[in-house]
Amino acid sequence: MAQPDRPWTAFYGPGVRTDIEAASYRNLPDLIRSVAETYGNAKAFTCCLPNGMNGTLTFAQVDEMSDALAVYLREVAGLQAGDRVAVQMPNCLSFPVAVFGILKAGCVLVNVNPLYTAEEMERQFTDAEPHALIIVDMFADKIPAATRGHPIPNVIVTRIAEFFPVMPRGIVGLVQKYWDQSVKPVEVAHLRLPDALDAGRSHIARDHVEVDAYHQPVTHDDIAVLQYTGGTTGVAKGAMLTHGNLILNMEQAMELLGGDLKKGEEVVLTALPLYHIFAFTVNLLAFYWLGGRNILIPNPRPLSNLKRAFENYKVTWMSGVNTLFNGLTNEIWFRDTPPRHLKFAGAGGMALQSSVAARWREITGTEVLQGYGLTETSPVLTFEPLGKAREGTIGIPVPSTEIACFDDNGKRLPIGETGEIGARGPQIMKGYWKKPDETEKVMAGDWFLTGDIGVIDEDGYVRIVDRKKDMVVVSGFNVYPNEIEDVLAGHPAVLEAAVIGVPDDAAGEAVKAFIVRADPGLDTDAVRAFCKEHLTAYKVPKLVEFRDELPKSNVGKILRKELRAEQMAQLAAE
């Protein structure tokens, strides 16, 4: 029976708890250890390359390797509890080893986008002040520029095919070094990940180190991860996600899915990058907890990179964004041989288009369930219950979560009235790292204000109406206009610039820049080339429009909302 103040609980499946009173584990290392003991030699992670070459680690192997890394970090590198360790790599076997090792050491993980430019890395490193960096060799050439003024004392380098069998590992290494030349010499003092593990193992054998002692004092309230996000200003902020936040959010998401996922039986395809909070919590943590086999895709572009994974493994679940699902339904090979074992898929990061969901259902015979959340909420706040989805909504709140709408004065609005979406529950972050003023802006008591405008119907289903923030979402990735405008302002031929998001069939939204030129010779190609030097590819403006002037307020503030209104009016007239 539904609770009067939480009508959405009527749509929970049989046996689904409306509240999760206490987490199953005291901290994440306890979870990691317990799961490894349960599933032992079962396959935990498989990294699948586009040509089908692969490597696999069992639960027991990941547990042993992460123990060795934890000991290396504490006994050899000299890190202390609470020290930050940055991880910068695509989906590969080294990722869970690094993450679990950092957490077992009692340290704090800092997830870093592997595609970041050196400038973007430097900004995040300056704020997080990591004591160690674990990075894939393909991107290690950026380290010198990224650590100017803020050196990182311990650098560990890994490879995309780390822990593969000898022959495929060697072939991949030769191709990267000599054929596509994607790996360059590492110009800083560093240690290879296998050597760090061997050093940790030596300490365990010689000194009888008890790894569990490192995280014995760690509680629900201790920070596990600094997960960086932007905000309306585009200033990087590290959301402090605690062990309790992540464990409980993992349980909340899995609880709502009920008995549709079986422990020890699932095979999850992970094409979304694990550094992204959705894949981190749901794909990495939750499916590890379930004892599932995780098929890791280092790079899902082009989409043909996924073909061998679908062919070779009995995928039962996958996550993605609208762009991924849309792209797959337009691939001939996927339409001809859709995955036969798939139960359903989960979508997040951006709105799932109804036409895409319909095509997916027609091709695979399964549903794409949409979820909603933010970095600051670990991330899941709502999810569509299986068999009870409603078109145009983002589902209902997960257990132990309340959702409400607020007016501009912070007053809670009645059901059916549009306002800013607020949420409260055990998954809400501890705050922003070293930024109490920024934390205060988004918290109203124990309510986190999302910055999204929405409405809740009488059954508790939530619908997003608009975005209060100026954030642009490109293929599920957040892009912040101020960051791009700052880069554009550094071009000598740019007088003024404004950036907005515009609808885009492929990516959901595209970045569009409006520029007033200081030099009439400036053209679109020059603007994009300049941005590519300073920004990750998905942040580079896809569209550029030159104008004589930009709309401004009485105090001289550029009015992005007027530019957006113009664009929408133009689209409506077409």
Pick the CATH number of 59-218 from 3.40.50.300, 3.30.300.160, 3.50.50.60, 3.40.50.980: 3.40.50.980
Query: CA-to-CA distance for 327 and 337, rounded, in angstroms?
Result: 15
pLDDT of residue 426: 97
**Which residue, 489, 531, 497, is CA-closest to 514?**
497
pLDDT at residue number 131 = 98
- Residue 129 identity: E
For residue 14, whether the previous peptide bond is cis, meaning omega lies within 30 degrees of 0, is no
* Tokens representing residue 13 in the block: 């499946």
Q: Alpha helix (H) ranges present in 284-403?
A: 287-289, 307-312, 322-329, 332-336, 354-364
- Helical packing angle, 94-104 and 28-39, nearest 10°: 130
Among the listed residues 360, 363, 356, 381, the one whose alpha carbon sits nearest the alpha carbon of residue 371: 381
For position 553, what pLDDT does the model report?
Answer: 66
- Alpha-carbon distance of 558 to 543, in angstroms, equals 19
Q: Which amino acid is at 421?
A: I
The residue type found at 228 is Y
* Residue with the two structure tokens 């922003």: 432
Break the chain into its structural domains and give their ranges: 59-218, 400-467, 472-573
Same fold, 59-218 and 400-467: no
CA distances from 435 to 346, 429, 442, 451, 528 (A): 33, 13, 12, 18, 33
pLDDT tens, the chain, 574 aa long: 556 678 999 999 888 999 998 888 999 999 999 999 999 999 999 999 999 999 999 999 999 999 999 999 999 999 999 999 999 999 999 999 999 999 999 999 999 999 899 999 999 999 999 999 999 999 999 999 999 988 999 999 999 999 999 998 888 888 887 787 888 888 999 999 999 999 999 999 999 999 999 999 999 999 999 999 864 345 679 999 999 999 999 999 999 887 778 999 999 999 999 999 999 999 999 999 999 999 999 999 899 999 999 999 999 999 998 888 988 999 999 999 999 999 999 988 767 778 888 899 999 999 999 999 999 999 999 999 888 888 888 999 999 999 999 998 889 999 999 889 999 999 999 999 999 999 999 999 999 999 888 899 999 999 988 777 777 889 988 888 878 988 898 899 998 899 999 999 888 999 999 999 989 999 999 999 999 999 999 999 999 999 999 998 655 578 888 999 899 888 888 7
DSSP 142: G
Identity at 65, one-letter amino acid code: M
CA nearest neighbour of 85 among 240, 213, 224, 236: 224
| Residue 560, C-beta contacts closer than 8 angstroms, at least 6 positions apart | 470, 481, 498, 499, 500
On whether the CB atoms of residues 404 and 456 are closer than 8 A, the answer is yes
- The residues, ordered by sequence, that sit 6+ positions from 287 with a Cβ below 8 Å of its Cβ are 266, 268, 294, 317
pLDDT of the residue at 290: 96
Torsion of CA 87, 66, 215, 103, to 10 degrees: 20
Strand pairing class (419-424; 396-397): unpaired
Q: What does the alpha-carbon distance between residue 254 and residue 263 come to, in Å, rounded to a whole number?
A: 11
Question: What dotted CATH number matches 400-467?
Answer: 2.30.38.10
pTM of the model: 0.88
Say if domain 472-573 classifies as CATH 3.20.20.300. Answer: no
Q: How many CB atoms lie within 10 A of CB 416?
A: 10
List the one residue out of 168, 162, 172 whose CA is nearest residue 192: 162
Q: CA dihedral in degrees (390, 395, 400, 402; nearest 10)? A: -100
Contact predicate 279/57, CB 8 Å: no
